[in-house]
């Protein structure tokens, strides 16, 4: 629903976040890192766009229990799974996964219980 509402602002493009050169490609990882730097993050020592993808990949599987092949399709990594011969898109599963991911992030934002990890050197 929200994505449909955004079409009024962004037009009928293929990507919600198109590349800066409007060459039919999505926004690059470099653009994400540039946005993070504009927000005040150091993309050499604190956070990167690719690092955020890695966190999502880990939590979607470990905490929310989604299958790696569904996650990899959502992250646009289907080739990592040998999918040259597999045309599955997992659309229904990916919709469910993204809603659960949004719910999970909302819980974290509102103060879900955070369990501190002990330092292994202690």
Enumerate the H helices of 1-122 as residue ranges: 2-10, 29-38, 49-62, 68-74, 91-109
pLDDT of residue 76: 77
Q: What angle do CA 38, 51, 84 make, to 5 degrees?
A: 125
Average pLDDT over residues 50-57: 91
Average pLDDT over residues 73-82: 68
* Cβ–Cβ < 8 Å for 103, 59: no
* Cβ–Cβ < 8 Å for 12, 4: no
Average pLDDT over residues 10-30: 77
As a whole number, the mean pLDDT across the chain is 82
**Distance from the Cα of residue 78 to its chain's centroid:** 14
The model's confidence at residue 59, banded by pLDDT at 50, 70 and 90, is very high
Place of tokens 């449909």: 4
Where do the structural domains in the chain lie, given as residue ranges? Answer: 7-47, 51-111
Q: Residue 120 above 60 pLDDT? A: no
Q: Residue 12 above 90 pLDDT? A: no
- How many other CB atoms sit within 10 Å of the CB of residue 53? 15
- Tens-digit pLDDT profile for residues 82-119: 555 566 788 899 999 999 999 999 988 888 776 666 66
pLDDT of residue 10: 73
Give CA torsion, residues 19, 82, 68, 99, to 10 deg: 40
């Amino acid at each position: 629903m929200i994505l449909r509402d955004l079409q009024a602002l962004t037009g009928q493009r293929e990507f919600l976040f198109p590349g800066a050169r409007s060459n039919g490609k999505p926004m690059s990882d470099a653009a994400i890192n540039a946005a993070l730097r504009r927000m005040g993050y150091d993309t050499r020592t604190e956070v990167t766009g690719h690092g955020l993808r890695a966190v999502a990949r880990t939590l979607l599987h470990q905490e929310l229990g989604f299958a790696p092949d569904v996650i990899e399709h959502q992250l646009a990594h289907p080739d990592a799974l040998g999918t040259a011969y597999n045309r599955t898109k997992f659309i229904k599963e990916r919709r469910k996964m993204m809603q659960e991911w949004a719910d999970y992030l909302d819980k974290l934002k509102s103060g879900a219980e955070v369990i501190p990890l002990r330092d292994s050197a202690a």
